[in-house]
Amino acid sequence: MLNGKNVLLGVTGGIAAYKTTFLVRLFIKAGANVKVILTDSASSFVSPLTLATLSKNPVISNFVKSEENTIAWNNHVEFGLWADLILIAPATANTMSKMASGTCDNLLLATYLSAKCPVFVAPAMDLDMYKHPSTKSSLDALASFGNNIIPATSGELASGLHGEGRMAEPEDIIEFIKKQLVSGLSLSGKKVLITAGPTYEAIDPVRFIGNHSSGLMGFELARTAANLGAEVYLVTGPTHLIIAHNNVHVINVVSADDMYHSTQMYFENADIVICAAAVADYRPKSVAEQKIKKSDENLTLELVKNRDILMTLGEHKKNQYLVGFALETENEVQNAIGKLKRKNLDAIVLNSMQDKGAGFGGTTNKISFIDTNSTITAFELKTKAEVAVDIFNEIIKRRYA
């Protein structure tokens, strides 16, 4: 959820500021880009050099900066637009009071007031300060503005007292942010089943019948669904591709029969099912136990039909939104609509071998999305990552809008 996100960390003047070094490392480890704004008092508690080293970005404290004998300014509006999320941690009683009232007397507060992204606030202060009515008023005001308050915890405080007011631990802050980001996504709480890649149908221990599918389209669909908050089950045939996402469970298979059984396992609980795999229609009737030796000029293989995975899913469909793919070479639209109806699909993604850049093996695709009303939405040639976004936009529009 944080991979590639721009995180602006605002650090204010409390003893808990020392924990921000761990926060920065966790954000970086999660793949985020981090910039840090320190208030003047915060630098008494944590070193700007340490945070700059860990974040791999200069730490900013003031509006004015010196560059090669010239005076420039740190643009708070640009910082606010750059950030995908802002975290203020620790958030002192003083800073929260200013945020609640709209006071703007430092760079962090000016950036906060300019922000258009989600803002997370992690309060930290002593017990009596945290319980004071003015602090509660500030927290209530900040929550009413749409800010996400990360509750303080109980524990030993800097004063020696024991009670509420301790800033949440860095690991808990990261998990809180992840959960909040997921909860606001269009597929949060949904389960998505996707098939991808080719299948290999064995001839003997070393040879097989296969196809040129790279699996990239299915992998991009899985990544897009996961980024939209879904829990994804990716059933993939042999491919060199790797996907690293906490929301994606990869099930590796080889043959069409393997894929059939795996899809049956996950289909019942799925909300959305997309069959993007290039499944072999036929397999050898018998598989040689030993490598077939080259002898005669000709080799005859008897093929038998594989079970139709998409047809079977369509026959057993209940509440799932089922999407198939159709790669056609002629009468493209008619054949795709025929497949959609014959297999009881909710939609079908059509691509044509006649379109340059579409189909197997490449990084691009050109599709038309066709639903049960035979409504056709055609798209231009795009990268498969962009195509995956288009496909889910069409599904969400029809299923959840």
172/199 same-domain check? no
Q: What is the widest separation between alpha-carbon atoms in the chain?
A: 92
166/201 same-domain check? no
Residue pLDDT, tens place only, 112-159: 999 999 999 999 998 889 999 999 999 999 999 999 999 999 887 777
221/318 same-domain check? yes
User: From its phi and psi, is residue 30 left (phi > 0), alpha (psi between -120 and 50) or beta?
Assistant: alpha
Cα–Cα distances in angstroms (integers) from residue 76 to residues 67, 69, 111, in the given order: 17, 22, 5
Residue 68 pLDDT > 80:
no
Hey, which residues are catalytic here? 211
Q: Exposed/middle/buried for 374, CB within 10 Å: 0-12, 13-18, 19+? A: exposed
The number of folded domains in the chain is 2
84/208 same-domain check? no
Domain boundary among 121, 151, 183: 183
Which residue, chain included where needed, has tokens 């109806």?
341
Residue pLDDT, tens place only, 260-300: 999 999 999 999 999 999 999 999 999 999 998 887 778 88
58/85 same-domain check? yes
Residue 330 pLDDT > 90:
no
Decide if 88 is inside a domain. Answer: yes
Residue 356 pLDDT > 80:
no
Residue pLDDT, tens place only, 371-395: 999 999 999 999 999 999 999 999 9
77/126 same-domain check? yes
Residue 229 pLDDT > 70:
yes
139/226 same-domain check? no
pLDDT (0 to 100) of residue 93:
95
Domain boundary among 118, 152, 183: 183
377 three-state secondary structure: strand
Residue 183 pLDDT > 80:
no
Q: Exposed/middle/buried for 127, CB within 10 Å: 0-12, 13-18, 19+? A: middle
Rounded CA gap, 384 and 351, in Å?
A: 12
pLDDT (0 to 100) of residue 252:
98
238/277 same-domain check? yes
Which residue in 10, 154, 6, 9 sits closest to 95, CA to CA?
Answer: 10
pLDDT (0 to 100) of residue 72:
62
Run of H or E residues at 233 = strand 231-236
Domain boundary among 131, 157, 183: 183
322/384 same-domain check? yes
107/242 same-domain check? no
Decide if 126 is inside a domain. Answer: yes
Decide if 36 is inside a domain. Answer: yes
Identify whether 198 is preceded by a cis peptide bond (ω within 30 of 0).
no
Decide if 1 is inside a domain. Answer: no
362 vs 274: which has the higher pLDDT: 274
Are the CB atoms for 210 and 198 separated by under 8 Å? yes
DSSP class per residue in 254-281: -SHHHHHHHHHHHHTT-SEEEE--B--S
Give me the CATH number covering residue 58: 3.40.50.1950
Tell whether the torsion through CA atoms of 350, 355, 359 and 365 is positive or negative: negative
Q: Give the helix ranges, DSSP H, for 148-190.
A: 170-183
Residue 67 pLDDT > 70:
no
pLDDT (0 to 100) of residue 160:
76
Rounded CA gap, 238 and 197, in Å?
A: 7
Lowest mean pLDDT among 161-175, 271-285, 357-371: 357-371
Q: What is the mean pLDDT of residues 84-107?
A: 95
Q: Exposed/middle/buried for 120, CB within 10 Å: 0-12, 13-18, 19+? A: buried
Residue 61 pLDDT > 90:
no
137/207 same-domain check? no
pLDDT (0 to 100) of residue 135:
95
Which residue, chain included where needed, has tokens 């990552």?
385
Percent of the chain with pLDDT over 70: 96
pLDDT (0 to 100) of residue 2:
85
Q: What is the mean pLDDT of residues 347-376?
A: 85
**Residue 307, phi then psi, degrees to nearest 5:** -65, 140
Are the CB atoms for 7 and 83 separated by under 8 Å? yes
Decide if 159 is inside a domain. Answer: yes
- Using alpha carbons only, give the angle 233, 239, 243 rounded to the nearest 5 degrees: 45
Give me the CATH number covering residue 263: 3.40.50.10300
Domain that holds residue 58: 6-183
pLDDT (0 to 100) of residue 324:
97
Residue 173 pLDDT > 80:
yes
What integer best gives the mean pLDDT of the chain?
91
Q: Beta-carbon neighbour count of residue 282 at 10 Å?
A: 14
Residue 352 pLDDT > 80:
no
Percent of the chain with pLDDT over 90: 76
Rounded CA gap, 5 and 180, in Å?
A: 14
241/383 same-domain check? yes
